[in-house]
Amino acid sequence: MPIDIKKIKEYPHRLGNALGYTKLTDIHSEWIKKAWRNKNEYVLQAHRNSYKTTAVLVVGAIWYLFFNPDVTVLIVRKEYEGAASIIKEISKHYLSENLIALYQEVYGITSIIREDRKDSITLTTKTRVTKEGNIDSLGIGGSITGRHYDKVFTDDIITLKDRVSKAERESTKSFIRELTNIPVIGGTITHTGTPWHKEDGFSILPEPDKYPIGSVDIPELTEDVRIKLKSGMTSSLYAINYELKHIADENRIFVDPQYEAWPENTKRICALLDPSYSGKNTTALTMIAETHEKAHIRGWVWPNDVAELYDVIANILKNYKCGTLYNASKADKGYSTKDLRTRYPAVIDVDETMNKHIKIISFLKQNWSLLYFAHDCQPEYLNQILDYVEGEEPDDAPDSAANLVKEMNIGHGNELMNRFGITA
């Protein structure tokens, strides 16, 4: 497919179309031009599945470097592997027929890449000598000392981890402040991503351009798809990812979780599985390690049917030297317990009949101040707990946690039950 150079200079999304990104439209051209031509720090927030990373970083980098071959660019993501994956995506396009034909027409070359590493690309069109490549990548925590670039891009460096951890939020903000020393004189920084917390890294950045769901024409995001997306996550998670807004914490049941390192020496470690079979529910696994003074908690949630997770669960239990696994298997009449015992013998059936909300309030809420979450607790699990609202699914993580607190007889879980004359 021939590429019209004049057209792509003004409409960079058309370059993306030629490279196979057929769903990019005029709005993506606007994002690319704003992000790459801005003279000041620029912030773009767009909903999930809006193709912002594909447009701004992948197509935008290829487009801008075609017209500005000596520019140096740094792409930063939360994790190093995430940043390296963008480099890999860009690199493969420089081997494509359409891009080679374009470079041959303008620059008279058929080999576009001079140096291609996991975290860096240098093009043969680059004539300026610098230690930086045309495009380098980095994860938060990587060394940026001594590096200087014409363009710096952060993409999704604010994540679910920032939602559930104050320490993570502060660490991300420190990194954002450090980035101000990286652009060369006249260089710029652009941030793309999704807001996760009112005090996250976006709180110290300029006011963003915002594109919530519905503001970008994405044909496959039909009303049915939106309903399905909304039903598969908590209200606040949907608000964050698709409406780009926070739901205030004032009325939340669970706030300000405490964190500590997972203990090496414990009195006992137990786990409780809340299995899922279909629908909105997730399979949730909670683990609590008791020391002589504290109860340490961690957990996992999966969208899978429990039958697909037996080996995964057994391996987790063995890796953490867990003792008893309680299994709330009432819905499957004990079949999952039988299956799990073939992989992990210490499984006990739990027949749960209590009202779920009363159980969560009585055991998890009443003992919230006694629980210390592991620093590396799965964010999706913790997010389900922080988002818990009576009657709203998924609520498997808080249910699993409350059940385990009850089974291990931690703290003072019977206060509310006694008030209503309910017995466990």
pLDDT tens by residue, 385-407: 998 988 888 899 999 999 999 99
How many CA within 13 A on the CB side of residue 161? Answer: 18
| pLDDT(422) > 70 | no
Give the gyration radius of the chain's Cα atoms.
Answer: 25
pLDDT the model gives residue 412: 62
CA-closest candidate to residue 35, choices 60, 67, 63: 60
Q: Are 396 and 277 contacting, i.e. CB atoms less than 8 angstroms apart?
A: no
Q: What percent of the chain has pLDDT over 90?
A: 71
Strands 135-139 and 73-77: parallel
* Domain limit, last residue, from 160, 193, 218: 218
Let me know if residue 232 belongs to a domain: no
Let me know if residue 238 belongs to a domain: no
pLDDT the model gives residue 3: 72
What average pLDDT does range 205-227 have in this prediction?
Answer: 91
| pLDDT(237) > 90 | no
pLDDT classification of 281: cutoffs 50, 70, 90: confident
CATH code of the domain covering residue 197? 3.40.50.300
Task: Give the separation between CA 269 and CA 356, rounded to whole angstroms.
Answer: 24
Are 179 and 35 in a shared domain?
yes
pLDDT classification of 333: cutoffs 50, 70, 90: confident
Q: Are 370 and 411 contacting, i.e. CB atoms less than 8 angstroms apart?
A: yes
pLDDT classification of 415: cutoffs 50, 70, 90: very low
What average pLDDT does range 239-254 have in this prediction?
Answer: 80
Let me know if residue 240 belongs to a domain: no
Three-class secondary structure of residue 352 per DSSP = coil
Let me know if residue 59 belongs to a domain: yes
Task: Give the separation between CA 90 and CA 78, rounded to whole angstroms.
Answer: 18
What average pLDDT does range 298-325 have in this prediction?
Answer: 95
Task: Give the separation between CA 328 and CA 336, rounded to whole angstroms.
Answer: 9
Are 171 and 320 in a shared domain?
no
* Domain limit, last residue, from 218, 240, 268: 218
What average pLDDT does range 65-80 have in this prediction?
Answer: 96
- Report how far apart, in Å, the C-alpha atoms of 25 and of each of 30, 56, 194, 279, 332 are: 9, 12, 21, 34, 48
pLDDT classification of 384: cutoffs 50, 70, 90: very high
| pLDDT(184) > 50 | yes
Torsion over CA: 417, 418, 421, 424 (sign) = positive
Amino acid at 89: E
| pLDDT(287) > 50 | yes
Q: How far apart are the first and last CA of the chain?
A: 69
pLDDT classification of 228: cutoffs 50, 70, 90: confident
Are 178 and 276 in a shared domain?
no
Which of 69-73, 261-265, 278-282 has the largest mean confidence? Answer: 69-73
Q: Are 55 and 16 contacting, i.e. CB atoms less than 8 angstroms apart?
A: yes
Are 191 and 286 in a shared domain?
no
Let me know if residue 241 belongs to a domain: no
- Max intra-chain CA distance, the chain: 84
pLDDT classification of 307: cutoffs 50, 70, 90: very high
- Chain mean pLDDT for the chain: 90
CA-closest candidate to residue 207, choices 41, 34, 16: 41
CATH code of the domain covering residue 399? 3.30.420.240
Are 138 and 275 in a shared domain?
no
Please tell me the total count of domains within the chain.
2
| pLDDT(21) > 80 | yes
Are 214 and 293 in a shared domain?
no
pLDDT the model gives residue 423: 45
- Report how far apart, in Å, the C-alpha atoms of 244 and of each of 207, 237, 308 are: 13, 10, 33
CB contact set of 362 (below 8 Å; sequence gap of 6+): 402, 406, 413, 414, 415, 416, 417, 422
pLDDT classification of 164: cutoffs 50, 70, 90: confident
Let me know if residue 239 belongs to a domain: no
Are 81 and 168 in a shared domain?
yes
* Domain limit, last residue, from 218, 234, 266: 218
| pLDDT(356) > 60 | yes
pLDDT the model gives residue 417: 42
pLDDT the model gives residue 236: 82
Let me know if residue 396 belongs to a domain: yes
pLDDT the model gives residue 46: 95
pLDDT classification of 39: cutoffs 50, 70, 90: very high
pLDDT classification of 143: cutoffs 50, 70, 90: confident
| pLDDT(379) > 90 | no
| pLDDT(292) > 90 | no
| pLDDT(250) > 70 | no
Are 213 and 268 in a shared domain?
no
Domain holding 267, by residue range, is 258-420
Least confident of 15-24, 75-84, 283-292, 410-419: 410-419
| pLDDT(126) > 70 | yes
Let me know if residue 235 belongs to a domain: no
What average pLDDT does range 365-375 have in this prediction?
Answer: 93
Strands 135-139 and 120-123: antiparallel
Are 187 and 289 in a shared domain?
no
What average pLDDT does range 338-360 have in this prediction?
Answer: 92
Are 205 and 265 in a shared domain?
no
Q: Which token pair is 17?
A: 């179309």
| pLDDT(335) > 80 | yes
Are 213 and 266 in a shared domain?
no
pLDDT classification of 418: cutoffs 50, 70, 90: very low
pLDDT the model gives residue 252: 78
pLDDT classification of 284: cutoffs 50, 70, 90: very high
Are 203 and 286 in a shared domain?
no
pLDDT classification of 421: cutoffs 50, 70, 90: very low
Q: Are 32 and 13 contacting, i.e. CB atoms less than 8 angstroms apart?
A: yes
